[in-house]
A = this chain, B = another copy of it.
Amino acid sequence: MTELVDATNQQSRDDVTEQVLAIARRAKIASRALATATRGTKDAVLEAIAQALVENSVRLIEANALDLERGRATNMKTGLLDRLALNEERIIAIADALREVASLQDPVGEVVRGSRLPNGLRLTQVRVPMGVVGMIYEARPNVTVDAAALSLKSGNAVILRGGSAAASSNAVIVEILRETLETQGLPADLVQTVDPFGRPGGVALMHARGLVDVLVPRGGADLIQTVVRESTVPVIETGVGNCHIYVHEDADVEMAVNIIVNSKTQRVGVCNAAETLLVHKDAAERILPAVYAALAAENVTFHVDPEAATFGADGPVFVEATDHDWATEYGSYDLAVRVVDSLDQAIDHIRTWTSGHTEAIVTASYEASERFIAELDSAAIMVNASTRFTDGGQFGLGAEIGISTQKLHARGPMGLPELTTTKWIVRGEGQIRG
């Protein structure tokens, strides 16, 4: 009996793989129509999608109600239910976001470099679309629109794999996107979803090497690690942020406290929030009591090493820190705190535990700031500024696809150009190689 079930499962997995590959082949063919489309055409599509979503609000909200109902029936947490919910206002916000993407410069066609070679050949390296982008993400339906908009603006076809919790909403969104593409004279297959195939559909997408050009996972650490491990399609790894703040011996108390409070609590669930505070031993007495007071007011729990614990009067909630704390991206009102003997020890600590996202130093010392910049190997280094600035919008890059913590292709906040590649073009009059 077991063998029979296994055979059936295998058969069904093979079917899914075949259907997902067919989707990817259709995406590749559709992508050619968009690769040479002008910015005007692409922006018109985004505007038409914005209008269509608003016009179809009722249809969308009805589908979303089914997701919410399923969520409540399975005891989904209030926070998640809220992120899942759509209403008129949120649909208008999604439409506005589409118009913002339309307002961004088209990355396609940018001449990256070029020269005239000694033999007279004219060489240019030009930005072109990737082709087919795969996006694997979690529950929020607005990400469906967002991912499609960024892919289309950068000239790519997109294949979506959304969270099953938002399945009904996403299905209707994809319908609306495809209808709009057709009314705009473009192939509907520029936007496709593998959601009907469930988890095996996502796995098949990760193995569609040669048809899908890049896969971008957006979501929690588990999702991202699964994609990185499983995928044979090249992946852009995003988002895990175990960010550090180091307060040097000479730091200004007010500046340090402001940066720490902002980095930790301005928004706790995001990847650029601070998770560990390292304080130089000669600054601990000046800085730590003020930090504890300010953050205790925000109900932060402190995971402290023995020395950091000595600077807490009554008030702060202390838990003894273990290696687990140094390694953790809390994403909550928790902060690991350690007193270090020197800048060197701070650098060692960060090298050992960082996820390579963002590190900040607070210091008055030129030498300390330059060493911190040079010796740490993370995507972003802040000197006397909040870790929260590592963000595509804040950096002036426009819409953000994610924050890459890998070194290949993209590092730190990614804008539209990171969804493109380049092509070398050589123009001549019959030149041959001697």
- Separation of A384 and B429 alpha carbons in the complex (Å): 5
Q: Mark A29-64, 1 if CB is under 8 A from B, else 0.
A: 000100110000000000000000000000000000
Q: Which residue of B lies closest to A109 (CB)?
A: B374
CB distance from A310 to the nearest CB of B (A): 27
Interface membership of A430, Cβ < 8 A: yes
A258 at the interface (CB under 8 A from B): yes
Interface stretch of the complex, out of A99-107, A283-291, A407-415: A407-415
How far, in Å, is A61 (CB) from chain B's closest CB? 32
Determine whether the beta carbon of B384 is less than 8 Å from that of A423.
no
In the complex, identify which listed stretch (A79-87, A137-145, A388-396) lies at the interface while the others stay far away.
Answer: A388-396
Contact A407 B428 (CB under 8 A): no
- Asked if B234 contacts A389 (CB within 8 A), the reply is no
Q: Which of A158-166, A297-305, A375-383 contacts B (4 or more CB under 8 A)?
A: A375-383
Q: Which chain B positions have C-beta within 8 A of A183?
A: none
Q: Which residues of B contact A236 (CB under 8 A)?
A: 408
Closest Cβ–Cβ distance, residue A394 to chain B (whole Å): 7
- Taking the nearest CB of chain B, how far is it from the CB of A116, in angstroms? 10
Cross-chain contact B262 with A432 (CB below 8 angstroms): yes
Q: Which one of B262, B362, B428 lies within 8 Å of A383 (CB-CB)?
A: B428
- For the complex formed, measure the closest distance between the CB of A381 and the CB atoms of chain B, giving whole angstroms: 5
Does A365 have its Cβ within 8 Å of any Cβ on chain B?
Answer: no
Q: Determine whether A406 belongs to the interface, using a CB cutoff of 8 Å to chain B.
A: yes
A406 to B412, CA, bound (A): 21
Q: Are B388 and A432 in contact (CB under 8 A)?
A: yes
Interface residues of A in 113-150 (CB under 8 A from B): 115, 117, 121, 123, 125, 128, 130-131
Q: From residue A41, how far is it (CB to closest CB) to chain B in Å? A: 14
A170 on the B face (CB < 8 A): no
The answer to the question of A213 belonging to the interface, with a C-beta cut-off of 8 Å to chain B, is: yes
* A213 partner, pick from B213, B385, B407, beta carbons under 8 A: B407
A130-B407 in contact (CB<8A) = yes
Q: Once the chains are docked, how many angstroms separate the CA of A262 from the CA of B396?
A: 48
- Nearest neighbor of A384 in chain B, beta-carbon distance: B428
Contact B383 A426 (CB under 8 A): yes
A386 at the A/B interface (Cβ < 8 Å)? yes
- Is residue A214 within 8 Å, beta carbon to beta carbon, of the partner chain? yes
Is A345's CB within 8 Å of the partner chain B? no
Q: How far is the CA of A426 from the CA of B375 in the complex (A)?
A: 15
State in angstroms the CA–CA spacing of A385 and B427 once bound together.
Answer: 7
* Contact mask for chain A residues 208-223; partner B; CB cutoff 8 A; 1 contact, 0 none: 0000011000000000
CB <8 Å contact, A423 and B379: yes
Beta-carbon contacts under 8 Å, A198-251 to B: 213-214, 228-229, 232, 234, 236
CB–CB A396/B131 < 8 A: no
Considering the chains assembled together, what is the distance between the CA atoms of A426 and B421 in angstroms?
26
**A9, CB-defined interface residue at 8 Å:** no
12 pairs from A and B in contact (CB 8 Å cutoff): A32-B375, A32-B377, A214-B407, A234-B406, A258-B432, A259-B430, A362-B430, A383-B425, A385-B431, A388-B432, A389-B433, A412-B424
Ordered nearest first, which 9 A-B pairs have the shortest CB separation? A385-B428, A262-B432, A407-B421, A255-B430, A409-B409, A388-B433, A380-B424, A234-B408, A408-B409
